[in-house]
Amino acid sequence: MGIRTSARIEGIPHYEPGLTMAEVMDSYGLESVVKLASNESPFPPLPEVKAVIDEGLEGLNRYPDGAARALREAIAERHAVDMSQVSIGNGSCELIVHAGVALLDPGTTIIYATPSFAMYPHLAAEAGAEAIEVPLAADGGHDLHAMAAAVDERTRLIIICNPNNPTGVYRSADEIEAFLDLIPDDLAVLVDEAYYDFVGAPDRGRVSVMARTRPNLLVTRTFSKAFGLCGLRVGYGIGSQSWTAALDAVRQPFNTNQLAQVAALESLKHPAAIQARVDEAISERERVSSALREMGVPFTPSHGNFILMEPPGPGTDARALHEDLLRRGVIVRSGAALGCPGTLRVTIGAPSENDAFLSALGAAAGITAPAA
């Protein structure tokens, strides 16, 4: 006999993490694999970041600063906001989940796009609220007009993923601003900018400037992608004080661990080194995109560190191609697990990993990959 649980947990979708490298090596008898399935950074932490993590080990018998003051101060300075407008989370995922806990009740609704980041459906299910899932526009970006039209008096929270995961499509700051102008000032909007650093548009960052003064706006960012610290779990939000107070009310007192705090703070002190890594990811994304184009592989042009692609040629099955790539030692994410059946999502890795992907794809699909 098991324990009695809330009826709500029945409705919570199971988050399907990508296959681990060890699982794939074991299953296919491989000695090495390339993992391009979780939108991670191919770079290890900067040496200076490793050094502060090492130093921090000594103090792990103490609780961390529950208010993450030093990190919040640095982020506040970077965004020209008061510290009271910064929330720190155990990954930006935690802030997103906390937004659901703090804002949703049974009888209320949350609006987000589909397909988008797999965590969003959890929020309504956990709170017993209703999820209004608005299909993406034909270009793979948010249909902001349809999202605005879905707002009614029950709506408590709207999430916009920009650029969108898994399509990589970006909506401009003007489009987001026009959307915000259409909805009530007291209706909470969370713009998830996990992939902000990889955006190749001149207006990137302007939505976070809006979050300085818009009463209903929270922009979330993460140290998981461009900063390469996903294993430590740290993200942040910039928004109005009513947003940060709501998130603060529902978090546990020591939600961000000590090593994550010092590592994130140190990372912010090396913008040139981080930017060099981001520049490489962007130039690799463009190189992989050109190669896919040359190979006749349909894909959605991306502003993230990943690309959503379809199998080349009619009749090629995405599941079969996914499996074939695994057999060849390349792990990508099956689009079926992301709400995009018939597609695969590949993360942009180091140049050698991207080459391994392109040549495995060429071999699996019977086409020649362009020379590296």
Ligand X SMILES: Cc1ncc(COP(=O)(O)O)c(C=O)c1O
CB of 18 to ligand X, least distance (A): 10
Is residue 357 a contact residue for ligand X (CB under 6 A)? no
Closest distance of CB 304 from ligand X, Å: 8
Q: Which of 236, 237, 238, 234 is nearest to 262 (CA)?
A: 234
Least distance from ligand X to the Cβ atom of residue 35, Å: 14
Q: Which of 270, 208, 237 is nearest to 52 (CA)?
A: 270
Residues of span 7-46 touching ligand X by CB under 6 A: 39
Question: Which C-beta is closer to ligand X: that of 13 or that of 107?
Answer: 13
Please tell me whether residue 293 adopts helix, strand or coil conformation.
Answer: helix
Q: Which two tokens stand for residue 153?
A: 């008096």
Nearer to ligand X, 117 or 355 (CB): 117
In the bound state with ligand X, the residue whose beta carbon lies nearer, of 14 and 62, is 14
Question: DSSP for 184-251?
Answer: -TTSEEEEE-TTGGG--STTTTHHHHHTTT-TTEEEEEESSSTT--TTT--EEEEE-HHHHHHHHHHS
Q: How far is the CB of 107 from ligand X (least distance, A)?
A: 27
Binding mask 78-97 for ligand X (x = CB under 6 A): -------------xxx----
Minimum gap (Å) between residue 273 Cβ and ligand X: 20
Number of residues that bind ligand X (CB under 6 A): 13
**Least spacing, CB of residue 25 vs ligand X, in Å:** 23
Q: What whole-number distance in Å separates Cα of residue 75 and Cα of residue 83?
A: 8
DSSP-based three-state secondary structure for 334:
strand
Half-sphere exposure at residue 308, Cβ-oriented, CA atoms within 13 angstroms:
25
Q: Which is nearer to ligand X, 115 or 312 (CB)?
A: 115
Give 156 or 345: the residue with its C-beta nearer to ligand X: 345
User: Is 164:113 a contact under the CB 8 Å cutoff?
Assistant: yes
Which residues make beta-bridge pairs with 161?
A: 192
- 274 Cβ neighbours under 8 A, 6+ residues apart: 46, 197, 226, 227, 267
Of 160 and 360, the one with the shorter C-beta distance to ligand X is 160
The residue number with the shortest CB distance to ligand X is: 91
Q: C-beta of 261: minimal distance to ligand X in Å? A: 14
Burial class (CB in 10 A: 0-12, 13-18, 19+), 2: exposed
Tell me the HSE value of 183 on the side-chain side, using a 13 A CA sphere.
28
Residue ranges in 216-235 that form contacts with ligand X under rule CB under 6 A: 222, 224, 230, 235
Return the SS3 of 12: coil
| 334 forms part of the interface with ligand X (CB under 6 A) | no
Q: How far is the CB of 118 from ligand X (least distance, A)?
A: 8
Within 147-206, the residues that bind ligand X by CB under 6 A are: 161, 165, 192, 194
What does the binding site for ligand X look like in residue numbers (CB under 6 A)? 39, 91-93, 117, 161, 165, 192, 194, 222, 224, 230, 235
